[in-house]
Amino acid sequence: MEWNDTALVLQTGQFREADLWVRLFSQSRGVFTAFAFGGSRSRRRFCGCLDVFNVLSCRCKTTAYGKYVNLEEAVLLRAPQRLRTDWLRMGLAVNCARFAEALGIGSDSAAGAYAVFIDLLRLLEEPAPLPVLLPLFFRLRMASEIGFAPALHQCAACGKAVQGAALFLVNEGLVRCEECGGGSSPYAVPLPAAGLALLQAVQQQSPTVWGRYALSLPIAERRACARAIDGFVQYHLGIAWEEGRFRKV
């Protein structure tokens, strides 16, 4: 089978002298690996455009047994500028790419998840400062996009809209207001009002507007948000960040 797609390059690697594997994130198929035979050399077929975070128009072909995908041809649509010279931003983008790969995004949620990643790259191209919690924002937003959205707006016990501080129950992926409390749940993470408001906003927004959170949030609230998101992602998606890489747990 052969098809055309728009896809973002998440990672590449060499596997023989002239050949590459390319991890692609496509609008229609999510994250998958394709082989680019002659990828290290063939400027005609790949126009030298298989660099990480380039957006490509590509022609793919499933091999005879349907087991592998070959990248037959690629044309460059867009390439990042700032990322190529700013290693801090490149590191953030790579961290988010590894998370998307660990999630294993399939065709069901491909379109929405792809749009989130493209918006993240747009934000990274802007000169404005970035929020410290950017990688965590991305994990929360991406989890929500593929159907694991924590319920952050209503108290799960009394049903009231939660506005002040709250308890986030990592295992249930929901919040309880302060009056209702979390009982003795070992999974309860106390979230200050500002922290909860931030997570509520981030969960629904495009990454392009996250620059507005670059300055806010004292350290205690930052830690609470990080605990809540990390705990949620680990519990529900089985992914933990350990020793510089994502691991399935």
Residues that bind Zn ion (CB under 5 A): 155, 157-158, 177, 180
Least distance (Å) from Zn ion to the CB of residue 188? 13
Least distance (Å) from Zn ion to the CB of residue 171? 18
Q: Cα–Cα distance between 228 and 196 in angstroms, integer?
A: 10
Asked if 112 and 145 count as a contact pair (C-beta separation under 8 A), the reply is: yes
Least distance (Å) from Zn ion to the CB of residue 178? 8
Angle in degrees, CA 31, 10, 113, rounded to 5:
45
Asked if 85 and 58 count as a contact pair (C-beta separation under 8 A), the reply is: no
Least distance (Å) from Zn ion to the CB of residue 165? 12
By beta-carbon proximity to Zn ion, the closer residue of 116 and 167 is: 167
Q: In the 8-state DSSP scheme, what is residue 23?
A: E
By beta-carbon proximity to Zn ion, the closer residue of 161 and 219 is: 161
By beta-carbon proximity to Zn ion, the closer residue of 81 and 184 is: 184
CB atoms inside a 10 Å sphere around CB 108: 11
Q: Cα–Cα distance between 113 and 139 in angstroms, integer?
A: 11
By beta-carbon proximity to Zn ion, the closer residue of 180 and 194 is: 180
Least distance (Å) from Zn ion to the CB of residue 192? 17
Least distance (Å) from Zn ion to the CB of residue 193? 14
By beta-carbon proximity to Zn ion, the closer residue of 78 and 153 is: 153
By beta-carbon proximity to Zn ion, the closer residue of 151 and 157 is: 157
E runs forming strands in 137-218: 151-155, 166-169, 174-177, 188-191
Asked if 180 and 162 count as a contact pair (C-beta separation under 8 A), the reply is: no
Strand partners, 62: 69
CB atoms inside a 10 Å sphere around CB 212: 11
- 């400027």: which residue's tokens? 43
